[in-house]
Chain A
Amino acid sequence: MPCENYREALIEAAAADSAPSGELRSHLDACASCRAAFTEELQLFAAIDTGVCATANAEVPHSFLPHVRASLEIVSASQRRWTPFLIFAAASAAIVLTVFIAARPRRAINDSQSKQILEARSGEKPTTPDRGGAIRSPAIVVSDGSHQTVQRRNSLPINSASSSQLEVIVPADEREAFARFVHAQQEQSDVVVAVVAAALDEEDKPPIMKPLLIAKLVVRPLEPLDGEATDGTEEER
């Protein structure tokens, strides 16, 4: 049994794998039980080191490196095969996304902005009764041209919503400016703003095909002339 005062120092000296020095050295020289305990500790640490070394230095199987090389070959082959497809797919997705982001919101914003401006202003103006007696606002809806028609306020209604609004075909890039122009005109006076499309050039007009007029034909037998025989003597003349 080692002396209690030196027990911890013995263990630490053995764990540090260093020779005891100073006071511990002199005590070990004097105390046989501590010397025996120190020897036991050294044996224990030696056994631990041997066990750890056996674990840490296990023999590598001969098949290990060839297996790894074969796996590497498979991995690099699959990388080569998939890389172009992945790049192509990523590029396609990026293009589609860019187009979607660039195109979609602008159109929605333009439509909503122009409609907001016009419809907000139309609420401020006095309403005018139309022929049918219904109260309608003098709103003008700026169309993107998809309808290809100009609906006048009092024209035959296609549906209830569009029948009360005037639609004007305006190029997409001039829609906002046109909306401002209409708004300015409506603020200055109550004169109805009429915007008409420019007349088509002569050469742009479609050719008008007039129907062929043929006078009514009257078919009647010829009257025989005087002295003319009816038995073919006319040929002689």
Chain B
Amino acid sequence: MQELVLIQPGRTAEKEFAQEAAAAALRREFEERLTECGPLAYRVARGVLRNSADAEDVAQEALLRAYRRFERLRDRSRFRAWLVRIAFRLAIDRARASKRREVRETLWSQSAPRPSTEDLAATSEFQAHLDRAMDDLPEKRRLVLLLAAMQGHSLEEVAEMLGLPMGTVKSRLFFARKQLAEKLRCHAKTIEKR
């Protein structure tokens, strides 16, 4: 029996097959990187948002965005840094949006949402102060602090990932920690006295 193949006018079937093969190869390459870098994107988002559901959402969005533009990424070895930046940017945007929403809702209801007992139990008082202090850090310092705190990341790797000189990374880390300490010093003393 004769096999009929429907092709688009002006394009040969071979071209279509080649394109499909290229797309499949691209997809495989991306999936390999997804296994390696997906958790990193999640952790960066989680570090900014401190909420698992939001972090998952944002990391997924970052990975999909990266997938759509993966073909255009010239230097594939920079994928990690690229993904970290996308995830961090999206997480910052999400955090700002939720902060605005929170302010609006507070103004409407005149009462801030009270944390549940589980939340209080899960987050120590110091950790809550630390989270707030981290929110106030400049974005550049915050990203360096988060990446440097992640297990398996040396300062050299952070510098390479962000494309920064080692001295800049060290300086940002130093000032980030110092700024956090200034904000937390009084709280640490209060907690200690109890």
What residues of chain A have their CB less than 8 Å away from a CB belonging to chain B?
Answer: 11-12, 14-17, 41, 43-45, 47-49, 51-58, 60-61, 64-65, 67-69, 71-72, 75-76, 80, 84
- A55 in complex: contacting residue of B8, B46, B174, CB < 8 Å: B46
Residues of chain A within 8 A (CB-CB) of B127 are: 51, 54
Q: What sequence of 0s and 1s flags, for each residue 45-85 of chain B, a beta carbon within 8 Å of any chain A beta carbon?
A: 01100101001100110011001100000000000000000
Residues of chain A within 8 A (CB-CB) of B8 are: 84
Q: A16-B174, A69-B31 are in contact. Are A57 and B151 (CB under 8 A)?
A: yes
- CB atoms of B185 and A52 under 8 A apart: no
- CB atoms of A44 and B130 under 8 A apart: no
- CB atoms of B181 and A55 under 8 A apart: no
How distant is the Cα of A94 from the Cα of B86 in the complex, in angstroms?
34
- CB atoms of A51 and B130 under 8 A apart: yes
- Show 20 A/B contacts (Cβ-Cβ < 8 Å), sorted by A: A11-B178, A11-B181, A15-B181, A47-B184, A48-B184, A51-B130, A55-B50, A55-B149, A56-B43, A56-B47, A56-B149, A58-B43, A58-B47, A60-B38, A68-B34, A71-B60, A72-B30, A72-B31, A75-B64, A80-B23
Residues of chain B within 8 A (CB-CB) of A12 are: 178
Residues of chain B within 8 A (CB-CB) of A11 are: 178, 181
- CB atoms of B126 and A51 under 8 A apart: yes
How distant is the Cα of A12 from the Cα of B126 in the complex, in angstroms?
22
CB distance from A212 to the nearest CB of B (A): 58
Q: What sequence of 0s and 1s flags, for each residue 11-46 of chain B, a beta carbon within 8 Å of any chain A beta carbon?
A: 000000000000100010011001100110011001
- A44 in complex: contacting residue of B43, B146, B151, B181, CB < 8 Å: B181
- CB atoms of A48 and B180 under 8 A apart: yes
How distant is the Cα of A84 from the Cα of B19 in the complex, in angstroms?
12
- A41 in complex: contacting residue of B31, B34, B42, B181, CB < 8 Å: B181
How distant is the Cα of A125 from the Cα of B121 in the complex, in angstroms?
103
- CB atoms of A65 and B34 under 8 A apart: yes
Residues of chain A within 8 A (CB-CB) of B46 are: 55-56, 58
How distant is the Cα of A64 from the Cα of B58 in the complex, in angstroms?
11
Quick check: is B145 within 8 A (CB to CB) of the other chain?
Answer: yes
How distant is the Cα of A47 from the Cα of B125 in the complex, in angstroms?
12
In the complex formed, the residue of B with least CB distance to A16 is: B174
Q: What sequence of 0s and 1s flags, for each residue 176-194 of chain B, a beta carbon within 8 Å of any chain A beta carbon?
A: 0110110011001000000
In the complex formed, the residue of B with least CB distance to A43 is: B188
- CB atoms of B185 and A44 under 8 A apart: yes
How distant is the Cα of A52 from the Cα of B178 in the complex, in angstroms?
13
Given A48-B130, A48-B180, A52-B134, 9 more pairs with CB closer than 8 A: A11-B181, A15-B177, A41-B181, A49-B177, A54-B127, A60-B42, A64-B38, A64-B42, A71-B60
Quick check: is B120 within 8 A (CB to CB) of the other chain?
Answer: no
Residues of chain A within 8 A (CB-CB) of B145 are: 52
How distant is the Cα of A72 from the Cα of B149 in the complex, in angstroms?
30
Quick check: is B164 within 8 A (CB to CB) of the other chain?
Answer: no
- CB atoms of A44 and B64 under 8 A apart: no
- CB atoms of B38 and A52 under 8 A apart: no
